Structure 1
Amino acid sequence: MVVGQQSKQYRAPSPQMAKRSYTYDALMRLNNIDNCLVDMQRSRDDVISNIGQILEREKSKLVLKREKSSRLLHLSRCQDEITDQSKALEEDRRRIITLRESIRSRRTALEEAKERYQTGNEYLEESQKILERDRKSLFLTTSKLCTCQKELVADLLNIFPIEPTHTETFSFKILGVPLPNSVFIGCDDDQVATALGFACHLINMLAYYLGVPLRFPMIPMSSKSTICDPITASLGDSRQGYNTEYVTCRVPFKKLLNWIILSIVQLEGLFTNNQLGALFPLYAKGTDRYRFEYAVFLLNKNIEQLMNSQGINVIDLRHTLPNLKYLILSLVSGQSSASHQRKLTSNNYTIPHNINNTIEEEEGENSHSHSKSSNTSNKNTKSHRKASQGFKVGVI
């Protein structure tokens, strides 16, 4: 019988063939192997029983070792966590210390700010009291100043009366000398120079009383008056400037005479430094015509400056005496002062009611005390006011 299909060399033995029996040595070998296997099984059983006994005996120790190792692992993890938490705690402590220092410094700053605030409040209260006192003083001084200015301007109106000539519209005369309105063709030069000298003197006194420094300084010398232009120096003559500084209109009243004398002396010959620019004559005789006309223009600009300082607008600059008379009438009647005071109070502060009453009372007392001395000036003022109603529309 064939066992494999691939090879025909191996064939199953025939059942009828006799099998070869084991030899004695082989049987003895098998017996020895069997005995060895039995011994090994016994040894195995002994080892197993011994291992079981040992395990039973060492079971509690093994459990403890196992538990010890697990607890050691947990302990190491806990120690690591403790280390991390200790570092975080140190950082938190440092941050707490920093925050405490910051809070302490802020508390100190708040206390200092509170002290400054209290000091500022006390200073503010004192300043408010001082301000209120200064306001009262300012209003009282302003009212007295306005009253004094009215009296002085009224005296000027008596000294330099400006009256209409009744020959032409807007034609006026000063101290009985007529002065045309910037058109001098066919007029007497000496008469015009005299009228301009009076107007120059009147403007100088008005600027002095009102405390307004004129842009174009003037030297009143009756019919030989001059006016200076600090800007247009190229149109002046060879005698330009003064060797001393120009004395403004803010000097005390007692020095007014010395100031006029000094101006006259300077005009006579002390022209060396070219400080004030060109001088222009307010007289036409013996001078260039354009220089005289420019001097009249500068004179009218000074009048415009005085009117603007009192809140009065000028429509026609050429009307010298009409503008000058309207300025004086406004000052005497108090319209310009009231409007100027209203402008001041509306821009800066409000006049309290009691201050207004005080001002009115003091004005009443002052007017009552000076009623006798200014009776003549008031009559002239009323007459000039009536006379000025006819040209008021053309001047305002």
Structure 2
Amino acid sequence: MAEANVEIPGSLRRERPWLYPYNRRLRHLQGLTIRNLALTPRQHAAHPLTLDDEVLPSTRQSPAKALAQREHRELGHSRSSSDLRPLRPAADGSPRKLDRDRPAARLRRRSTLDWTDAPLQTRQRRLENVLRSRMADVFFSLHVDGEDAPVYISEVVPQTMNPNFRSFDLSPAGPSVTRRAEVQVRVWAKNADMRSYRFLIEMTLSLRALQFVGKTLEGFRQPLPENCILFHLTDGVYTSFTDFPTPDPPLDLPVRALSRVQPTASYGALMRLATLDECIQDALATRARLEAQINDLLAAHEPALNTLSRASAARESLSATTAAAALERRRLDAARSRRDELRSRLASRRSLIAAARESISQTQNDLAAARPALDAQKQAVQGLADEMHAQRRRICADLCDIFPIEPAPRPAPPLAFTIRGLRLPPHGDFTSAGLDDGEVGAALGHAAQLVGAAAAYLGVALPYGILARGSRSEIEDGISATAGARGMVYPLYLKGAVRYKFEYGVFLLDKDVEMLAAALGVKVLDVRQTLANLLPVDQACCFLAQERTSIVF
């Protein structure tokens, strides 16, 4: 029971055609395919063995011979395509092979693998030559008896050994062709060595003699012969190994014995058929008479009908001409309106160009009239700049005289300076210097006043505003994140102030000195050296005043 339910796979089932052999016609043919194309026929060599018992397959696979082959398995292939048996001249002088049981006198060997060790270029060239000789351009044509011209010519498939042609339909050829079962196939080919196409294959066959291959070629695994032509019909693929038609099988039609004679029709039915036939004949005669009368009327009134047709054609031509004329009038009106618009635009542009030219000429006249006044203004401005430079130089000289910065007397540390005789500790060390808080506040107040005055006269904006009040001077921070919206004021004196605020105020003063030095082109080495950085700034004020106030026209 278990074996009865086992299903056979589809690949192992034998496919059967739908069309019977006697039903195959050219109308069922849909395409052709050629496999294993060969331009030259294969030369079959003679069998190397003598016609004796050695030729039988049973002797070739005998147990004794298999044992001998296993004992001599280590021997390699001779790598030769010719027989190694010795040759003996015959009576007529031609060489012939000796018998197997005679001793060997001389071996003749010809190797066919002489190019195994050849260079890669040589091997590649020979392989390309082999492929070029096997590949070809192929097309075919179909012919039937009684037709001089071919009923179908295929397209050319270039450079192939297994051409697949496009599908075709022979219905336009007519029933005289599509109802035939015999056809003649002619194949033409040309390779790279040929100048023109050569007639290769001619096959005259009957579609009844074709052998069924399968529904498609994908599942067919059997080898095909050279120049094998496959026919694609509506129910599958066929091929032909012979062109003899198979005899049509007899049709087994059932034959029933007539037991008794049965009547075909009654008398009344026959009378009704006769009446119906008379009616049909009368209707046909009436139709013929009406046709003749209509033709006579048309022939009698032919001039009037021609006049009516000409009048209708004239009316249609008049309506078409009227429509075309109206269209052209509309186009003409549109072109005229466009022309008037362009003319108005051109006139307005011309007026604008004339006004612009007048304005340009007036401006040029004004420039020519104002040029002497411009020269006088340039001279006045240059004189004012010179006066400003002189005034700035005098002010800077006065500042140097008012706030002299000199090195501190010994034993003072290096880079220690005094301003108006008041000392400031170097490096901002106000704790270990041992100076009086009042002296430090007064020195910082003089330094702050000097920086503020120099920045004001030279036009340098300081980031931190200075409030010069002598020994109680202060500095304002309005840009830091901790300053808030109104800013914060830090003291420049130590007496009575918070120490970290004092130190931050001295730091802000040093940043103002650095900003002033950068504006004057003086390089600062250490921002904590307040008086040491202020001394070159004070000296550079007099020399850079002219460059900062020069005017270029």
Highest RCO, 1 vs 2 (Cα 8 Å, sep ≥ 6): 1
TM-score by length of 2: 0.36
TM-score by length of 1: 0.49
Which structure dedicates a bigger proportion of its chain to helix?
Answer: 1
